[in-house]
């Protein structure tokens, strides 16, 4: 005999309609049995609704429904690429091939700094944490602190540069304006906790809004750009921005959007261009003011995302020909 879930699936709309009308579960079971010739119990209806509720809460992930070996290979590919790309943008010297050897085989690459190996391990651990966060409805400051501990796990202890807490000292970036170097500060340390409370609240609102490819890129852009405007940590902000900006995409069933080190200079120029245009962020100011500079950033993101989408399509094609 089929399980109760299989039996009741064709009548889901009717069951939900009856529940909206306030009909008790026991009476629903009686009505279904009488109308459709079933023999289900109150417990069967209760279990069916609970099962459907869990299914609705569980996100559909980009690697679901793939054979186990293809799925595992795809996840490893993304972890290696994500780590290589993001740490490479920050100056890590490991090649993609070396990154794979470090992460999958635990090898030490001769002639490469220990720091580069530790950054790779830490970032890969942070990627795992991002996948864990997919199941959470909301993120907290502690989740961001845990990500920071991953990417900065081997950094020296410094009271003004805490690991796993907001910055306590000023930080900034240097760019070029009218042919002259200009130093721009990020959010003040004293303003950072309040700004991040606002940022986390707004980010949680956007967690499930990447329902289309266009919206996915928009959510990534908002998350990334608003986060680096604040620069809430003394270091590691770029890596964390590129990690956390992917959480809404992953929760909506899309693969991560990765930015190649080959476009590092263009990427950094676009970040600077926006920050220079809108100025230093203030405690009660908009987190991401509208500015034409955002459009160019989104164009880069759309172009870079194509490789991730291609990898997923390749995996699906591999599975289809089996």
Would you write out the chain's pLDDT as a tens digit for each of its 322 residues? 344 455 888 888 889 889 888 888 989 999 999 999 899 888 888 888 887 776 555 558 999 889 999 999 999 999 999 999 999 999 999 999 999 999 999 999 999 999 999 999 999 999 999 999 998 989 999 999 999 999 998 777 777 889 999 999 999 999 999 999 999 999 999 999 999 999 999 999 999 888 899 999 999 999 999 999 999 999 999 999 999 999 999 999 999 999 999 999 999 999 999 999 999 999 999 999 999 999 999 999 999 999 999 999 999 999 998 8
**pLDDT given at position 57:** 58
E strand residue ranges, the chain: 172-177, 180-185
Please give the CATH number for the structural domain made up of 68-320. 1.10.3290.10
CA distances from 299 to 93, 220, 266, 273 (A): 27, 12, 12, 14
Sign for the pseudo-dihedral over CA of 220, 222, 225, 226: negative
CA distances from 121 to 4, 114, 128, 236 (A): 46, 11, 11, 14
Rounded to an integer, what distance in angstroms lies between the CA atom of residue 316 and that of residue 322?
A: 10
Q: What is the pTM of this model?
A: 0.82
The residue extents of the domains of the chain are 4-57, 68-320
Active site residues: 231
Question: Which residues touch 155 (CB under 8 Å, ≥6 apart)?
Answer: 161, 163, 235
Question: Which residues touch 311 (CB under 8 Å, ≥6 apart)?
Answer: 74, 77, 78, 255
Tell me which DSSP letter residue 256 carries: P
């Amino acid at each position: 005999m089929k399980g109760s879930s299989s039996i009741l699936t064709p009548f889901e709309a009717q069951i939900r309609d009856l529940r909206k009308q306030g009909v008790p579960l026991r009476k629903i079971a009686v009505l279904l049995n009488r109308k459709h010739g079933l023999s289900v119990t109150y417990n069967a209806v209760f279990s069916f609704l609970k099962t459907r509720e869990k299914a609705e809460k569980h996100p559909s992930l980009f690697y679901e429904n793939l054979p186990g070996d293809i799925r595992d290979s795809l996840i490893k590919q993304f972890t290696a690429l994500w780590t290589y790309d993001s740490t490479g943008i920050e100056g890590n010297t490991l090649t993609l091939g070396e990154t794979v050897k470090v992460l999958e085989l635990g090898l030490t690459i001769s002639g490469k700094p220990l720091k580069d190996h530790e950054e790779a391990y830490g970032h890969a651990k942070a990627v795992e944490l991002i996948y864990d966060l997919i199941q959470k409805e909301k993120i907290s400051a502690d989740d961001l602190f845990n990500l920071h501990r991953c990417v900065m796990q081997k950094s020296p202890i410094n009271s003004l540069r805490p690991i796993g807490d907001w910055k306590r000292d000023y930080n900034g970036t240097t760019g070029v304006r009218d042919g002259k170097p200009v130093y721009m500060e990020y959010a003040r340390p004293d303003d950072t906790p309040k700004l991040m409370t606002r940022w986390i609240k707004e980010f949680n609102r956007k967690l499930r809004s990447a329902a289309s490819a266009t919206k996915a890129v928009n959510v990534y852009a908002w998350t990334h750009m608003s986060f680096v405007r604040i620069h809430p940590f003394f270091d590691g902000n770029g890596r964390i921005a590129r990690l956390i900006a992917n959480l809404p995409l992953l929760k909506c069933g899309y693969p991560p959007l990765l930015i190649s080190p080959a476009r590092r200079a263009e990427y950094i120029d676009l970040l600077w261009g926006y920050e220079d245009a809108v100025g230093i962020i203030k405690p009660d100011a908009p987190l991401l003011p509208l500015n034409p500079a955002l459009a160019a950033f989104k164009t880069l993101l759309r172009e870079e995302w194509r490789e991730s989408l291609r990898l997923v399509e390749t995996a699906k094609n591999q599975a289809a020909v089996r």
